[in-house]
């Protein structure tokens, strides 16, 4: 879990997303079912971030077949956590990405001399 968190922290600093396959490659998750296992790991990190009151870093992981959106399980988990209470997944995802960007800016300000 800490390797995924670190990877996504790096991506947030770059302002870039990764696909589930790219995450699986970075974390050296082996077949079989590597994308499924990666998605489950991403959802667990969402839960940890939510419980800790942090921005949802899992929003940086997207599906290569959903036009820049995470997999459906991401949104199912968000609904179960009470984060998503409407059907506009695109707007919700953009809000999460925006929160990550704002958190990054405030974190950088906190480190200024």
* Any domain includes 110: no
* Any domain includes 82: yes
The two structure tokens encoding residue 52: 């800790």
* Any domain includes 109: no
Q: What is the DSSP secondary structure assignment for residue 59, as one 8-state letter?
A: G
Can you tell me the distance from the alpha carbon of 61 to that of 22, in angstroms, rounded to the nearest whole number?
A: 9
Predicted pLDDT at 34: 97
Predicted pLDDT at 113: 42
* Any domain includes 107: no
Contact present, 72 and 57 (Cβ < 8 Å): no
* Any domain includes 75: yes
Give this prediction's pTM: 0.88
* Any domain includes 95: yes
Query: How many independent structural domains does the chain possess?
Result: 1
Please report, in tens digits, the pLDDT of each residue of the chain (113 residues total): 899 999 999 999 988 999 999 999 999 999 999 999 999 999 999 999 999 999 999 999 999 999 999 999 999 999 999 999 988 999 999 999 999 987 655 444 443 34
* Any domain includes 61: yes
User: What is the span of the domain harbouring residue 87?
Assistant: 2-100
**Strand-pair category, 18-19 with 61-62:** parallel
* Any domain includes 113: no
Asked if the peptide bond before residue 82 counts as cis, ω within 30 degrees of 0, the response is no
Which single residue is written with the structure tokens 């300000």?
109
């Amino acid at each position: 879990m800490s390797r995924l968190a670190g990877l996504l922290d790096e991506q947030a600093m770059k302002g870039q997303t990764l696909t589930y396959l790219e995450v699986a490659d970075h974390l050296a998750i082996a077949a079989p079912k590597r994308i499924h296992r990666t998605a489950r790991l991403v959802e667990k990190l969402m839960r940890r971030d939510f419980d800790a009151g942090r921005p949802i870093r899992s929003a940086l992981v997207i599906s290569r077949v959903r036009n820049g959106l995470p997999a459906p399980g991401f949104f199912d988990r968000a609904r179960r956590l009470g984060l998503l209470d409407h059907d506009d997944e695109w707007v919700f995802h953009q809000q999460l990405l925006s929160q990550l960007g704002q958190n990054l800016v405030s974190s950088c300000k906190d480190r200024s001399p």
